[in-house]
Structure 1
Amino acid sequence: MERSGLKGYTIDEINIGDTASFMKTISESDVYLFAGITGDNNPAHINQIEAEKGAFKGRIAHGILTAGLVSAVLGMRLPGPGTIYMGQELKFTKPVYFGDTITAKVTVEEKIKNKIVKLHTQCTNQQGEIVLDGYATVLPPKK
């Protein structure tokens, strides 16, 4: 079942296979704000001339900025408000360019000791290409 809204789902309300998603177009200002907050001013993200010399031939978003979209799903949709993010395995599979529209999707994979939820996490771009793949573990909110 696709989950949405601002309700925090408890462990008893979560089922294997439940999903939720969040979509955002990554802007230049998103990348610059993220660089300012984190101090990661790598030219691959903020210097077009230098980035054109690199592997991706232009500026790209920070991988962790993309991962932050997964955090938005976990904290606001599934399990939702009150969720404690415990861990994340990530694999960045393609670059995210300015202007890309990214969909972050989580799917419930497992309930551990009826306390912790393991979710498959994936981000795709507007062409449906996977740009991030991994797994998160969370502690859902209490009643």
Structure 2
Amino acid sequence: MLLDKKRKLGKQLEELSVGESIQLTEKIEDKDLLLYLGITNDNNPLYIQHDYAAQTAYEKPVVPTVMLIGIVTSAVSKYLPGAGSYIREQSFQFPKPLYHYETVQIQLIVEQIDLVSRDIIVRVEGINSNEEIVLEGTVIAVPPIHPK
């Protein structure tokens, strides 16, 4: 199926520049967690049981790290480089947990453009409302190729 006139493909490699960035703000709500748990069937008590989490070093339920990765992959697909792009590789660290009901700001910055391999390296950083890093890493993405 071809894209209709309302949908546009993202930026091609030649349209991107080093330093280009996007910042997203996401508040993690119950509905987001319930959708994740429903899709993955992941019933880790650290994610969903307040009484269990209160007895751990975390003290309250944490957001599954794969949800943060999902926000990043969605941003790559929607914005940088955008629709039609493909993530070839990703690497993330999660220095601090993100807790239920917290807000996270995620920034994606084009760090490198490789004209030979035709991909880009995007640096990613996520910060919670206490200005702590909860996500950092890189994504190697192949920008969309526009059909002729």
Any conservation in 1 of the 2:9–2:144 contact (CA below 8 Å)?
Answer: no
Which segments of 5 or more consecutive residues in structure 1 lack a partner in the other structure? Answer: 1-5
Which segments of 5 or more consecutive residues in structure 2 lack a partner in the other structure? Answer: 1-7
Q: For 1:28, which of 21, 30, 35 is the aligned residue?
A: 30
Deviations 1:97-139 (A, max 9, x none): 1111111211111112260111101111123221000000010
Q: For 2:136, which of 133, 136, 142 is the aligned residue?
A: 133
Match of 1:100 in 2: 102
For residue 103 of structure 1, give the secondary structure of its aligned residue in structure 2.
strand
Identity between Structure 1 and Structure 2 (%): 28
| Structure 1 counterpart of 2:56, one-letter code | G
| Structure 2 counterpart of 1:77, one-letter code | Y
The 5 Å alignment of 1:67-78 reads 67-78=69-80
RMSD over aligned Cα atoms: 1.3
Counterpart CA distance in 2 for 1:128 and 1:47 is 26
For residue 84 of structure 2, give the secondary structure of its aligned residue in structure 1.
coil
Counterpart CA distance in 2 for 1:139 and 1:57 is 40
| Structure 2 counterpart of 1:136, one-letter code | V
Deviation at 1:7?
A: 5.5
Any conservation in 2 of the 1:44–1:50 contact (CA below 8 Å)?
Answer: yes
Counterpart CA distance in 2 for 1:105 and 1:87 is 18
Residue correspondences, number: 138
Counterpart CA distance in 1 for 2:74 and 2:136 is 15
Match of 1:3 in 2: none
For residue 65 of structure 1, give the secondary structure of its aligned residue in structure 2.
helix
Structure label with greater radius of gyration: 2
The 5 Å alignment of 1:7-18 reads 8-18=10-20
Q: Is 26-35 or 43-52 further displaced after alignment?
A: 26-35
